[in-house]
Structure 1
Amino acid sequence: MELQHLRCFLAVAETLHFGQAAQRMNMLPSALGRNIRLLEEALGTRLFRRSTRRVALTENGVLLREEARKLLAHADAIMLQFRQNPRRNQPLLRVGTIDSAAMGLLPGLLQLFRQQYPEVEIQLFEDKTVHLLPKLKSGRLDLVFIRPPSQLDAQFGRAFLCNEPGILALPARHPFAGRESIEIVELEGMPMILPERRSRPHSHDLTMNLFHNAGIEVTVSQLADEKQTIINLVAAGIGLAIVPAWSSRFQLPGVKFVQLNGAAQMGMPLEAVWMAGAQDEIRDNMLALLEAHPELYH
């Protein structure tokens, strides 16, 4: 039995709705259901009665709900106690980030932070938003830089940083490679590589919306999951891709990055997110540094 299984159980037990619980945990419903099944198998009992219309707790589910609340509260308190233990060799800040912010925002931010707080140990974890938010909620991260989902649980604190514009990645031998900028309408009929929407909804929707607003259709040549994979496919000549502007720092041989006119008005949002109820002076110091240095992300 893992703490993450209990957190998933508690989300369903408190909402009595798997869809709402999945949103609350910022997980796919299938992943939430898998955690519940693993917990039921570990305990050897059913925790929910499910029908097409409603979800209800079993008698054992009601009993576990109260015990899970106590156990998770105690686990969170233990993690906080050890993080703030003065006997630690160094104070610690655990930061989660999406890949784009890891390339664009974090280098400058960490340089400034280390100058002011050299005694703080910073642990970095790079992942997608859908994976970072559950880690933040479970206490495994203290601060994350993410593309915010359409609905964010009220227990999170959040600070909008910027709308990161899109930029066009294209093969170095493409006729547009020598241009300084390109109009969206010029991409009509050209093969485009798009990210999977389930894992990168903001990047996917940016391409679709830019084409829609220009009154043209997207010709999709390939779907891919990871941004590095998309850029490698561009280098191989599979197609073109609209990627976050910070992705241009990849500097992969065989790929050129060209500005897209009009893309700046439809950028991808970047936010700093944390647990609003958790007291953390180190985290707050980093947030204050962000507020004092907007040039880091503008």
Structure 2
Amino acid sequence: MNLSDLRIFVSAARRPSLGAAALEMHLTPSAVSKALKRLEDSLGTPLFDRSAKQLVLNTSGQLLLDRAATLLALADQARSDIMGEKATLDCRLGGPAILLWRQGKVLAGALRDYPQASLRMLAMFEEEALAALARGDIDAALVTGEVLDGRGEHWSPEWQATPLGSVTLHLVAGRSHPLVAQLSNGDDGLLHASSAEVLQHDFACPSRSLFCGAQRGSRSDGWRDDALPRKIRYWSDDLQLLLGFVKSGDALAYLPEFALEDQELLRIQVDDCAFECREQVALVWNRNQAGGWLQRLAQILESNVN
């Protein structure tokens, strides 16, 4: 049994067809089929039920799949630890797009010492990211404290949660928004408005949580519409499209503070708003299978917490 064939087996076991596995592994279907046959010959038993039109794992195949992620992870860990900064790394990080946006620059900086490394940031909601981590499809997941508190069905006692601080949401407007021209800066350098002034204007909002993906309607961005009901004119679950409505001056939005790094956006402090939405953030990774580079990455991310 060799590692290359084992990787192909894992792909074939999780994909609907040989063709899909071949596409993922950048091989021909014939090469995938031969790799599976070599693996079965080395183990002395079939791994798939070939009576159906699609490959279906049998009992032996399922047993191997359950062990394969650990075997491959340990092999990758050993190789990267031995080679150090010369290692060819494929860092796969999954999580909500809004959290990947937040951590992107720090992640890129943390991997500069590894010139042969590549960084894959895969947008997926939190539970999907934890499921991918459990399968071995990603190396680490970005999640919020709400998910950590609930743990969920995919949680493993082998996982480590590295705290990455919190995300606070603020009311944000584009520089060309008509409300901006009406407001003046306070001593704190912020634009100040009353809720009555703010609620005269249209909002843009996702229809589902940008973190967990749950359909929450007007509650999806954390704004308390029960206390301060808004007129939501624009709905978009695409973060960039939502930002477009804000930058154009067509709408206000309730967004994380790091959105304000964009020079086209301004924060508006609502003086009589009694609530604040804040989410704790963490990096989740398998401490038993992590190579030195991933442990170092977690340390760098944690040290960058304000």
Fold equivalence (TM over 0.5): yes
**In the alignment, what sits opposite 1:285?**
296
Partner of 1:157: 160
Partner in structure 1 of residue 125 of structure 2: 129
How far 1:93 moved relative to its partner? 5.5
**TM-score of the two chains, using structure 1 as the length reference:** 0.63
Match of 2:19 in 1: none
Measure, in 2, the Cα distance between the counterparts of 1:281 and 1:70: 26
C-alpha separation in 1, matches of 2:243 and 2:202: 14
Cα shift at 1:124? 3.2
The equivalent residue for 1:177 is 180
Q: Write the letter of the residue equivalent to 1:282.
A: W
User: In structure 2, what residue type is equivalent to 1:231?
Assistant: L
Aligned residue among 208, 214, 239 for 1:197: 208
| Secondary structure of the structure 2 residue equivalent to 1:140 | coil
**Against the structure 1 CA distance between its residues 201 and 140, is the aligned structure 2 distance closer, same or farther, given a 3 Å change threshold?**
closer
Structure 2 distance, partners of 1:283, 1:223, is: 37
Q: 1:288 to 1:98 in 2, by over 3 A?
A: same
Deviation, structure 1 residue 211: 3.3
User: Structure 2 vs 1, CA of residues 118 and 193 (structure 1 numbering), >3 Å: closer, same or farther?
Assistant: same
Q: Alignment partner for residue 246 of structure 1, among 249, 258, 263?
A: 258
| Residue 135 of structure 2: aligned partner | 138
1:177 aligned counterpart, secondary structure: helix
Residue correspondence of structure 1 range 43-58 to structure 2 within 5 A: 44=52
Q: Residues 185-204 of structure 1, C-alpha deviation per residue, up to 9 Å, x if partnerless?
A: 54335322111316545896
Whether the 8 Å CA contact 2:169–2:276 is kept in 1: the answer is: no
| Structure 2: distance between partners of 1:146 and 1:42 | 39
Which of the residues 164, 167, 170 maps onto 2:170?
A: 167
Provide, for residues 56-83 of structure 1, a one-character-per-residue CA deviation record: whole Å limited to 9, x for no partner.
xxxx9xx835531322422541354145
Q: Distance in 1 between matches of 2:73 and 2:289?
A: 12
- In the TM superposition, what is the alpha-carbon distance from 1:240 to its structure 2 partner? 1.6
What residue number does 1:211 align with? 225
Which structure's CA Rg is the greater one? 2
**SS of match in other structure, 1:176:** helix
Give the C-alpha shift of residue 224 in structure 1.
0.6
2:224 partner letter: L
Q: Where do residues 25-40 of structure 1 align in structure 2 (5 Å cutoff)?
A: none
Q: CA 1:175/1:108 → structure 2, altered by over 3 Å: closer, same or farther?
A: same
The offset of 1:118, in angstroms, is 4.5
Note the alpha carbon deviations across 1:144-192, whole angstroms, 9 max, x for none. Answer: 3233535443314323322211122324333332542345554335322
CA distance in 1, matches of 2:103, 2:50: 42
**8 Å contact kept, 2:77–2:292:** no
Q: Does the aligned pair in 2 maintain the 1:192–1:219 contact within 8 Å? A: yes
* Counterpart secondary structure, 2:246: helix
Note the C-alpha offset of 1:277.
Answer: 4.0
Matched to 1:136, the amino acid is L
2:91 is the counterpart of 1:90: no
Amino acid in the other structure paired with 2:71: A
Aligned: 1:188 with 2:199: yes
Amino acid at match of 1:142: D
Relative to structure 1, the CA distance from residue 94 to residue 217 in structure 2 (aligned partners, 3 Å threshold; closer, same or farther) is same
CA contact (8 A) 1:167 1:260 kept: no
Give SS of 2:180's match: coil
User: CA 1:87/1:144 → structure 2, altered by over 3 Å: closer, same or farther?
Assistant: same
Between the aligned partners of 2:279 and 2:74, the Cα distance in structure 1 is 33
Residue 107 of structure 1 corresponds to: 105
Contact in 1 for aligned 2:206/2:221 (Cα 8 Å): no
Q: Matched residues in 2 for 1:173 and 1:164: separation?
A: 26
Aligned residues: 245
Alignment-mate amino acid for residue 154 of structure 1: W
- Residue deviations 1:85-129, cap 9 Å, x none? 247952525142544444443424543563xx4567242314133
Tell me if the contact between 1:169 and 1:241 (Cα under 8 Å) persists in the aligned partners.
yes
**Which amino acid is the alignment partner of residue 134 of structure 1?**
A
